[in-house]
Amino acid sequence: MKVMLGLSGGVDSAVAAYLLKKEGYDVVCCFMRNWDAMANGDYLGNPTVNDDQCPQEKDYQDAQKVAAKLGLPLLRVDFIKEYWDHVFSFFIEEYEHGRTPNPDILCNKYIKFDAFLKFAKDNGCDMIAMGHYASREEKDGHFYLKKCRDTNKDQTYFLSQINEEQIRSCLFPLGNIDKKEVRRIAHELQLDSVMDKKDSTGVCFIGERNFREFLKNYIPAQIGNIVDIDTGKIIGTHRGVYYYTIGQHKGLGIGGISGETATGWFIVKKDAKKNILYVTRGDTQQYLMSNKCVVTKLNLINPNEKFPQKVGAKFRYRQPDHPAEINLEGDKIICTYDYYKAVTPGQEAVFYNKDGLLIASGTIDEVYRDDKRID
């Protein structure tokens, strides 16, 4: 079987390529370039803007060295327009509405498992493969994502919007090994260019940025008021609600109010239309705790899934799964749970069944506490 693997220039995809070759697959590697900093006006907040070589070209050279070491062919493809049209434009649009989308989820849905899959098929490949920490499982005729063995590295949250056909078409060689083993294999193979390379961070395919400055490239700063939600008093100004997140308590610039410091205040609400940040001092429980949310833009793996159903719900990547019950109402999921903090509109809600299979996901659209909308 011929498989095209996304080779990023990092250690995970390098070891994934080796494992596939070892298992007998006919492996073709491909490096994706999805962001052009100069063409896309990525100047502010970009620490590499004056470097002699952009990070993507360094990653490509690392990928070339890996492919040569493993004796595998390496292609290169640009999805810069697709990334802008389907990932970044929506990302900026959501920020303009005061929401905080996850670009990694959009990137997987539209680029790695859509545009890349089509490219692989057009080049004679039967399947694609990625160096994600995830597994897939077939059950009752359906293909599901399942958490990998290394639960600390599990990336199914970021893959939650890929559909069943995309899951069916992809292999995840790292599903049953942990990061330590990946590094060990890379050292054993003497993959010098990646074996000790730092994991990529920051915005998917864009990299590390001073995020507030980065957003200024695309959303002009707009001075607005910071309001104490308890008293209604204006206690400071901000540079645009887009640059702040719910729960944030640093960098607000409102220290010195009645002897308080900036870390004494927390953002509990954003009004994008009026450009107002609402904050409270100290305890945020009454403003950020909720027990119900409405989830839209659903990705339901099995259309015959039974509801209502007890699940483990993940509302943010690094948060643990939270016990919940979900029910399907038309094209929405109503999710109820014991009180939980900072369930935020615009973020992804991901639902796992009792067997650890990812059965559904979607965008958090509305949040309630005791049936009163709080977002």
Looking at the chain, the number of H-run helices and the number of E-run strands are 10, 18
Phi, psi of 235 (to 5 degrees): -120, 5
What phi and psi values does residue 363 have, to the nearest 5 degrees? -95, 130
Separation between Cα atoms, residue 207 and residue 201, nearest integer Å: 6
User: Of these residues, 107, 148, 170, 293, which one is catalytic?
Assistant: 107
Residue showing tokens 């074996």? 195
Q: Is the backbone of residue 140 left (phi > 0), alpha (psi -120 to 50) or beta?
A: left
CA distances from 166 to 122, 129, 314, 322 (A): 15, 11, 22, 27
Cβ neighbourhood burial of 183 (10 Å; 0-12, 13-18, 19+): middle
Tokens at 184, concatenated:
């060990």
One-character DSSP codes across 239-258: S-GGG--TT--SS---TTGG
Give yes or no: 148 in active site. Answer: no
How distant is the alpha carbon of residue 136 from its chain centre? 19
Alpha helices for 172-263 (secondary structure H): 179-188, 211-216
Annotated catalytic, 204?
yes
The length of the chain, given as a count of residues:
375
The C-alpha R_g of the chain, in whole angstroms, comes to 22
- 148, 204, 293, 335: which one is catalytic? 204
Distance CA 337, CA 295 (A): 13
Q: Which residues are catalytic?
A: 107, 204
